[in-house]
Structure 1
């Protein structure tokens, strides 16, 4: 299939209908949940570390979040932001923000429904995610929609976010930074991925809970240090981002210019690629969290979009705009690398290499699990091991594909996966609202009981 054909399919799938469905679902949930992503964010961030982890589940809430973040905090935060800005100009970052803001409500609903409708497979492991809340929530007559989601989920794991985009970024940055041949990196990466993924969710969650916090801190410190060096240019960069979101971006250097629609499309598409809100991936692991309350896990899931896009993608975007590197002829990892070298000529490439390698590696691990759960839904537990073997083979192949083809393929299968999930979120929005009301009524009663107990203690003294 030619690049022109793939571009045509990509433009059709990510045309106005899907953008409206994606953003519209987020806006609808934002209003129905009364701006929950604003007013309940402090509680959500607190729950990351204080959730009681009571109830059925395979892993605690923190590990579930880390595994979800392992899958989302990846090349989208570094390479995806770079390709969005390179194609759509600085305005694309603003549309990433907008997609992330309403996407927080979407991610909350996904996590909530995942726990509400989760089940147990024949191996005794928790099985959940959109395919289950479509079938068990919307009803059996919607099972074809659930099957479609699971099928597209396997395709995303095999050909989209899960393998090719991540592997290609790792081999490219290690080649640029340390001049390591592509073949060597591909072999080492394949062996390490195989060693972790064969162990299943527990093995992946253990790796993710150790690597994700460390890699996020390292990258945030590095980007903040960059921005501290060029702090005088930050206000102008922010103005440029907001201005270009509503005004066509003029050609500059190697940048050919972009319309508002191009900026919007690239910002939203790359934002979804990065934080996966509306895609339906994160609820697959959220379902495995030990919790009694669906809404509690929904809140914790929501923080994933906040951390991924509002914090990490924003920092990358500011680095690119402040540096001016986005107007050059390079793209992808090479573009972000060029920006970092302006502040850290001696070790900028090393910082990016370590960050991108860890980001991409953990995304491979997270998506291995997502695809596995989708395969289990389609053919049962007998499909798990064959799936893992094919996944590992594709990881080995991903190093040898072209960047343009990889990102277009990823965009196409992402869009196809999102459609069944978004339909389910709209259909089950009433259930999300009911679960939310029940949870916060419980929280209020609990707080009143604690206050009454403290009052009695004081009066007793």
Structure 2
């Protein structure tokens, strides 16, 4: 049995390298660039307006239009799923393998990814459905089916998404929390797994309304603590900031020479791992976030689409940048550590007890990811087999949290990363096919007679 699992893991590693290789990365960046141009650079020209309608209206109680949850609760659920271990471990991995230059390419992925996420959210609202019991459901499987008339791609996405949720959105997260708590506080992973499972079950049984309420409190809180901690370290080492940016920009185009425990990285490695980890952190193009946005209360697809721009900006250009700067400016990047361990070392180097901030972040980020991805999995399962199968899905999802915390089912864990990448392919095809719809809705909103012009005049 062990030899079979080893063989499976070796084969999956090869397949995973192909899935997350250059063809997909070029497709992701290419789609983002194409949508940026097609939508008249809306993520740049209307960035200020987007922040005004999102960041400065986070807690607004007045909501116009139909939906199950507020716009902020919807984006909180999406951010809860995206702002996970990728912001801590993912950035550390990108730098450990691709060198500091990987950060530049992570930024590039985010810059074009804002248009991708915008388009995903716009389409999720345009093609969402209202169920008999009053729920609003949507996402790539719905706009692939109803909009692009590609049922087979919709099914493929739902299969990949439902399966990936057990690894990327479940066992990977619970294992990260268990490992961190065991290392820092010597807490038994089994206990961590059981507590996490109970907490997730308590929230998810209430559906998107309960998840939205919890994440709308949890996401701002955990992000604020992590951001303030990171900014404090940057302030304490402010003289190192110019040098850190210099290293990032230089190594982005030259690669990183071997130094300390760092084995060196080529420019090609910096590009590949920077883009791949960037997409992993903000999920622009994967098609997961629009599933949560589909439940938002809004009066126009573009209004909710603006939250997609905010989402990528907050996730990568703020949170990931803080993590990256701390790692580079403290010099921890060449210590030989990887992933979350590298980020922990960097925060400890930056200030006393800085590692506790990372532990705190891992626990809450991972818990929030469990909540967001549980919802994604439910919607994928519902699309494939109907709403009656949701209970069965939960009966599988919840126990796997404990299994993941104790390090079990590594084969499924490894496969999930591959499936996570495969989700992007049908979704990106759908975005390209439906780009005229995105353009039409964008012009409808920002045109001479659109909502934007009326708001600007009032």
Give your verdict on TM over 0.5: yes
**In structure 1, how many angstroms separate the alpha carbons of the residues matched to 2:188 and 2:360?**
17
CA distance in 1, matches of 2:133, 2:166: 23
- CA shift for structure 1 position 314: 0.4
Of residues 86, 109, 115, the one that matches 1:99 is 109
Q: CA deviation at 1:408?
A: 5.0
SS at match of 2:166: helix
> What whole-Å deviation, never above 9, does each CA across 1:165-193 have from its counterpart, x for those lacking one?
21121112111221212222112111111
Which segments of 5 or more consecutive residues in structure 2 lack a partner in the other structure?
A: none
Q: Is the contact made by 2:167 and 2:413 (CA closer than 8 Å) also made in structure 1?
A: no
CA positional deviation for 1:8:
1.0
DSSP 3-state at the match of 1:163: helix
**Distance (whole Å) between structure 2 residues aligned to residue 189 and residue 110 of structure 1:** 30
Give how far 1:402 is off.
Answer: 8.3
- Partner SS for 1:251: coil
- Distance in 2, Cα, partners of 1:202 & 1:230: 42
Which residue in the other structure is 1:85 paired with?
95
Q: 1:407 to 1:303 in 2, by over 3 A?
A: farther
Question: CA 1:448–1:355 in 2, change beyond 3 Å: closer, same or farther?
Answer: closer
1:122–1:376 Cα change, 3 Å: farther
- Mark the CA change 1:338 to 1:286 in structure 2 (over 3 Å): closer, same or farther: same
Counterpart for residue 207 of structure 2: 200
Q: How far 1:122 moved relative to its partner?
A: 4.3
Matched length: 446
CA contact (8 A) 1:172 1:333 kept: no
**CA offsets per residue over residues 320-349 of structure 1, 9 Å max, x none?**
11122121232222211111111223x222
Matching of residues 17-36 of structure 1 within 5 Å: 17-36=23-42
**Is 1:376 equivalent to 2:386 in the alignment?**
no
Equivalent residue for 1:254, pick from 237, 247, 261: 261
How far did 1:240 drift?
1.0
**Structure 1 runs (4+) greater than 6 angstroms displaced:** 402-407
Alignment RMSD: 1.8
Deviates more, 1:389-398 or 1:371-380: 389-398
- The unaligned stretches of length 5 or more in structure 1 are 451-461
- Aligned twin of 1:425: 431
The partner residue of 1:327 within 297, 314, 334 is 334
- Give matches, 1:228-243, under 5 Å: 228-243=235-250
Shift of 1:403: 12
TM-score with structure 1 length normalisation? 0.93
Residue 134 of structure 1 corresponds to 144
Q: Residues 128 and 13 of structure 1: is their aligned pair in 2 closer, same or farther, counting only changes over 3 Å?
A: same
